[in-house]
Structure 1
Amino acid sequence: MNCLFWNVGRKPDINQYLFDVVSEYKIDLLVLAEYKGDKNELLSMLSETEHARYHVPQIGCTRIHIFSVNTPAQITPIQDTSHYTILRIPHSNLGLLTFAFVHFPSKLHTEEIDYLEESRILKNNIEEAEKSVESKLTVVAGDFNMNPFDKGMMMSTGLHSFPTKDEVKRGERTINGRSYTMFYNPMWNFFGDKDTPFGTYHYKSSHHKTLYWNVFDQVLVRPSLSENISSSDIKILTQINQKSLINKNGKPNVSDHLPLFFAIK
């Protein structure tokens, strides 16, 4: 299953890029944040090719648009809030998977403790969904507006995600007699300058502490799916159909975020 998440930054003229990326990467599940394009135009463009897709109706989460190879009747909504949606979506080999797609608030208006609390609530809602469907085949993806090392991503009471498959094989961690479920987070692999790009979002700051490049757009999976995704199945895209998504300095210029491709095998 080929998936792409992209915060498209409210660009109204984004549909040609989306059409091209679905065609080039054979995207089964296209998930967009801050999408202000004409969805009917995009659906019409795709329907004229072998890549026809369906728009999944929005319920409570209007911040996220989902275009899928599956019909809306094949997708089961579980829970919506203003900042994320949780659904059951078919996978051709694995059966039904639980997906949570996220677009958390901007760092400009949110403190670290708020991210930790929002992450705690999201994790609790995911665990409730997993209990209701009796499955932990779960994928969480989106714009978290946090880096993988931030407290909301790492704390046991938050999303509790780790950078190595070996650590998450046990499935949960016990602290002071309480058990906390875990996620595998492969996005740590994108830090540093071994490969380009150096993240999904670039921010120039005058603060004494700054990263410049951030990995705000991430995909997490439960340990039960850790062998179904690898670093080679994850790409931060810098071009689509030979059209560059970055400027001459290597910074995003179509949207302020770069798209995140990942495959669940």
Structure 2
Amino acid sequence: MTVKLKSDEINNKRTEITMFFWNIGKKDLTDSLNTLLNESPMDILIFSEANISIRESLNKTLLPLGYKSRTPLKGAVRVSIFDRLPNVIYCRVDQYQTFIIYELLGMKVLVVGIHLLSPISAPIDDRYVDATKQNENIERIEAEWGIDKTIVIGDFNMNPFDKGMVSEKAFKATHCKQTVLSNRTKKPYYFNPSWRAFSNDLTLEGNNAPPGTIHFIPRNKDSDVNFWHIFDQVLIRSKLFSELSDRYQILFKWNKHFLLTDNLIPNRLSYSDHLPIKYTINLQAE
């Protein structure tokens, strides 16, 4: 397969960037990923729960396709990133986030891969407190580099409506573009296109994507019947709005790979308990 690298296309005044995130649940899913990329190449690939051997396996497969590992293949890395983009001017790996700044079309764009505390290990109030700390880290980098074009993508381990996502003190993310654009406060909003996936319906032929990225039944199911959750989300700043800024997709099948069981929930035995997401955005030079 001949791959046309994004570096060949990025010199124009406008370019489309596709991003992919998957919490792969400590499984080597390289074969299924290779099939997907040969069918639908993407630009930035972000993974969580990929140990050293899995990252090395990914690198072996992705390198011939033009991808470069931006994070160490050895050591403890919670969020690993591979891409086929030029002009990386900053990269930092933290405990829960990986930060990369790209210079694209003469603009600095911050991409943050994230994997926050699990509901299994931390109650919702603790996850809210942690979300405030993690967003403060992002805001510090934005201020230091003078960046207003940021994309945060990954496993937040919260739903879009949870306090850690919507609170003024945490990510301050909304599903309403007008709210983002009309903001008069010092702290900017994020736009969160992930909300719309709740309306997906596997029973409909025209919109048969799952209504979430992870499915689990809580212990006290009499008090909570929301079994589908959207933990894997994308947040963007208003300066990145375009006609493609809503292109958030939950992927569950490609080629011979079907990531759901017969009961239409994620097949955690063969794949992962999380479904991957794809996000497309159109960058335009100022």
Same-fold call, TM cutoff 0.5? yes
* Partner residue in 1 for 2:195: 188
Instruction: Return the alpha-carbon distance in structure 1 between the equivalents of residues 253 and 89 of structure 2.
Output: 30
* Partner residue in 1 for 2:13: none
Deviations, residues 130-178 of structure 1 (Å, cap 9, x unaligned): 11111210001100000000000000001000001111003x454xxxx
What secondary structure is seen at the aligned counterpart in 1 of 2:274? coil
Does residue 1:6 correspond to 2:22, yes or no?
Answer: yes
Q: Is the 8 A contact 2:88 2:100 kept in 1?
A: no
- Gap runs ≥5 in structure 1: none
Instruction: Return the alpha-carbon distance in structure 1 between the equivalents of residues 152 and 63 of structure 2.
Output: 28
Q: Is the 8 A contact 2:71 2:82 kept in 1?
A: no
> What TM-score, normalized by structure 2, do the two folds share?
0.82
- Gap runs ≥5 in structure 2: 1-16, 202-206
* 1:240 paired residue among 226, 237, 254: 254
Q: Which amino acid aligns with 1:141?
A: I
Q: CA RMSD in A?
A: 2.1
Q: Is the 8 A contact 2:62 2:68 kept in 1?
A: no
Does residue 1:137 correspond to 2:149, yes or no?
Answer: yes
* Deviates most, 144-153 or 194-203: 194-203
Q: Is the 8 A contact 2:174 2:180 kept in 1?
A: yes
Runs of 4+ in 1 over 4 A off after TM superposition: none
Does residue 1:169 correspond to 2:181, yes or no?
Answer: yes
* Partner residue in 1 for 2:84: 69
Instruction: Return the alpha-carbon distance in structure 2 between the equivalents of residues 22 and 64 of structure 1.
Output: 20
Q: Is the 8 A contact 1:238 1:244 kept in 2?
A: yes
> What TM-score, normalized by structure 1, do the two folds share?
0.88
Within 5 Å, give how 1:97-176 maps onto structure 2. 97-170=109-182, 172-174=183-185
* Partner residue in 2 for 1:23: 38
Decide whether aligned partners of structure 1 residues 60 and 111 sit closer, same or farther in structure 2, where only a CA change above 3 A counts. farther
Instruction: Return the alpha-carbon distance in structure 2 between the equivalents of residues 94 and 185 of structure 1.
Output: 25
Identity of aligned residues (%): 29
